[in-house]
Amino acid sequence: MATEILEELGLSHAEAKIYLTLLELGTSKTGQIILSAKLQSSTVYHVLQSLIEKGLVSYILNGKIKYYQAESPEVFLLFLEEKKLKFVEVLPVLKEKEKLGKTRQSARVYEGIKGLKTAFNDILTSLKSGDEYYFFQVPKEKLFNKDVLLFFRSYHTKRAERGIKVKGLAVKESKNLVKKIFHNIKCTRIRYVDEFIPHGIVIYRNKVIMLDWDKSPTAFVIESETIASSYKRFFEEKWNDAAK
């Protein structure tokens, strides 16, 4: 158990074993340490030097022979304090790296209906029951396409079954088509606007999906906290102004 604790404090298995051996033996020559620790001589010589550098072992010379001794276990408190101070020094650097990780942006492109399914399935796996996300409808003319209607009808049915909520904005002239998609689908709130709104945009967590239906269905997925937050604010402004 003592060996495991010393390993958790930063010693290697051999270092912990030799340190404990020296505590038990007291001042000892290398040969005695090798026999008691049951380690190869090359390992013992290497580890003793490592422990000396860590300040956990010292030695005295009697003629040309070295006698090693373990420092008092209390020295570990100083050992840990030194490690803590070193970590405090590097902490600002680590925090900066953390910020970079949080603000890092990435983008992916998904093509075809199967690609769209992959992009939208990420919403189903990223969100849990009770979570909510937002969308701006796809262009009205695309809603006349049966494949598009079926895709969104099927997706939103699965989404509602999982208890994931959605708020959507659509133009008033698309109201009848939008109602076809969401008929009897729960966890859905739609509001309608008169003016132009960006088409085919979905915002969830720190991601934005931009849909392009020009030739073949394409989804551009951008992962960026900054961009997602910007679109969320824009959506909420339009949502508050929209008719129910």
| Residue 62: domain span | 2-74
Note the pLDDT tens digit of each residue in 185-235.
Answer: 999 999 998 877 788 999 999 999 999 877 788 999 999 888 999 999 999
> For 169-184, what is the mean pLDDT?
88
Tokens 């969104």 -> residue: 152
**What is the structure's pLDDT at 100?**
67
Under a CB-based contact definition with an 8 Å cutoff, are residues 105 and 228 in contact? no
- For 141, the 3-state DSSP assignment is helix
Cα separation, 51 vs 37, in Å, equals 15
Co-location of 111 and 229 in the same domain: yes
pLDDT value of position 62: 85
Which pLDDT score, from 0 to 100, does residue 102 have? 58
The total domain count for the chain is 2
Would residue 31 count as lying in a domain? yes
From first CA to last CA, the distance across the chain in angstroms is 66
| Whether the predicted model's global pTM rises above the 0.85 cut | no
| Residues 93-124: tens digit of each pLDDT | 887 876 766 555 678 899 888 888 999 999 99
114's tokens: 């199967």
The CATH number of residue 47's host domain is: 1.10.10.10
How large is the average pLDDT for residues 239-243?
84
Q: Are 48 and 57 in contact (CB under 8 A)?
A: yes
Distance, in Å, from the CA atom of 65 to the CA atom of 42, rounded to the nearest integer, reads 17
